Amino acid sequence: MRTDLFDFDLPPERIALRPASPRDAARMLVVQGDGVLRDRTVAELPQWLEPGDQLVVNDTKVIAAQLKGRRIGRETEPKIEATLIKRLDGSRWQALVKPAKKLAEGDTVRFGNEGRVCLLGHLDAQVEAKGQEGEVTLSFSFHGPALDQAIADLGAPPLPPYIASKRTPDDQDAADYQTMFAANEGAVAAPTAGLHFTPALEAALRGRGVDIVRLTLHVGAGTFLPVKVDDTSEHRMHSEWGCVSADAAAALNAARAKGGRIVAVGTTSLRLLESAAREDGTIQPFTGDTAIFITPGHRFRAVDILLTNFHLPRSTLFMLVSAFSGLETMKQAYAHAIAAGYRFYSYGDACLLFRAHEGREFL
């Protein structure tokens, strides 16, 4: 499909720079299966679900993946910024670097932060390989837990550029940019639909008879990038590591067999569930990488309802929601959201999407 079909104009003032407080006070646009739109709040989510439904959340935890340093070992020492995007093994990470033109294979980058101590005071990495779009493979001087601690000491939360370019990230972001479910470290971007949840909302869902099932997908920075090619068939997704445990798969399959629906919290949960689903919709245990790219025409096998944020124009995520609810329906929904003052992107509001002919009538 043509990438420009997924374009739309978004006024800059619609981009949220801070989350709602409390988190479940965020607005929620309900998009019913027949295309009818309802203006609600996230706190009202339990009213739209039924006893026996299964809410699936991503329990990945965002690491301090943004590092600042300088190239060493040559005549000049230009500043280098790196955002870690995927762990390759105990000492190597794939990263996006700026300015990429200042680095060549074999160069050493020394990451450090004045006034903060990291073992020997700095962290060195060698450029092992270099890609065509600013991607490099960094081989660090530390390994395993020692490297994890060094990154935690020297790094900062990798706020998306559409937030970081408008204000300076601060200590509040370290809390705001983690979901209440965060447990397994490895993400370099938050599964942002999960940011809306509070203990009160979780209690209300359980009181409604909705169970919560956890899975893990370590979100990579590539998930949120605009698609730069003219045709979606030419786009290649970054792979991300995920895990659906045997217990999680069994719980979801058992609920489905009793008529319960699977409600994915976020596109990350949906992508992993669809990666783990058989043709008949049965979910298998899954551990490994997925690079699934969902565009209109995809046959959804595992997920019935999707809670997600509002996404960037021409992004793979807007393509995914268009596949789930229909391109024209989502264009109308986004136009309504913009006109009604909904807040967009990572710290913004949510929408609850039902597949075709799903969704109860509410006034």
Instruction: With beta carbons less than 8 A apart as the criterion, state whether 131 and 101 touch.
Output: no
Whether the CB-CB separation of 214 and 61 falls below 8 Å is answered with no
Give ∠ CA 53-54-58 in degrees, rounded to 5: 155
What residues contact 168, with CB distance under 8 A and at least 6 apart? none
pLDDT, one tens digit for every residue, the chain (363 residues): 899 999 999 999 999 999 999 999 999 999 999 999 999 999 999 999 999 999 999 999 999 888 999 999 998 999 999 989 888 899 999 998 989 999 999 999 999 854 444 445 689 999 999 987 778 999 999 999 999 999 988 988 888 888 888 888 888 998 999 999 999 998 989 999 999 999 999 999 999 999 999 999 999 876 656 788 888 888 888 789 999 999 999 999 999 999 999 999 999 999 999 999 999 999 999 999 999 999 999 999 999 999 999 999 999 999 999 999 999 999 999 999 999 999 999 999 999 999 865 443 333
Closest CA to 159 of 69, 64, 226: 64
SS3 331: helix
| Closest by Cα among 132, 153, 130, 133 to 142 | 153
What span, in angstroms and rounded, lies between the C-alpha atoms of 198 and 122?
37
Contact 57, 181 (CB under 8 A): yes
- Between strands 37-41 and 66-72, the pairing is unpaired
The pTM assigned to this predicted structure is 0.89
H helix runs in the chain, sequence order: 144-154, 161-164, 171-176, 199-207, 246-257, 267-276, 316-325, 327-339
What one-letter code names the amino acid at 4? D
Count helices and strands in the chain by DSSP H and E runs: 8, 17
Cα–Cα dist 337/357, whole Å: 21
The encoded tokens of residue 64 equal 């301090």
Q: What is the 3-state secondary structure (H, E, C) of 187-212?
A: ECCCCHHHHHCCHHHHHHHHHCCCEE
Structure tokens at 182: 């965060």
Give me the domains of the chain, ranges plus CATH numbers. 3-62+174-354 (3.40.1780.10), 66-155 (2.40.10.240)
Q: Give the integer Cα–Cα distance in Å for 17 and 24.
A: 16
Q: Return the SS3 of 84.
A: strand
Strand partners, 60: 184
